[in-house]
Amino acid sequence: MGFRRGKFITVEGAEGVGKSTQIQQLKSTLESCGISLRMTREPGGTPLAEEIRELLLVKREESMCERAELLLVFAARAQHIAQVIEPA
């Protein structure tokens, strides 16, 4: 019996457009069909990536330069891929 690879589904969109609602409906539908799944998010998905997410989302007096923001997003994604996506 061989290992069967799963599907990787992403849901993207701007804030407030109903992504969370659609994700919950998709999750319910898949689970009702007996399909197991793992939900995660970016930035985030691991303890370290969640800390990076906080750095990105919290309003501060000091603004973050675009390069720093991009590098933090990449750092969170690298951690997420290594600890969540690849092992799945």
pLDDT at 5: 75
Query: What single letter denotes the amino acid at residue 23?
Result: I
Q: What is the pLDDT of residues 31-45, one digit of tens each?
A: 999 999 999 999 999
Sequential pLDDT tens for the chain (88 residues): 566 778 899 999 998 999 999 999 999 999 999 999 999 999 999 999 999 999 999 999 999 999 999 999 999 999 999 999 998 8
Please give the model's pTM, rounded to 2 decimal places.
0.78
Dist CA 62 CA 52 (whole Å): 16
Q: Write out the two tokens for 73.
A: 């997003």
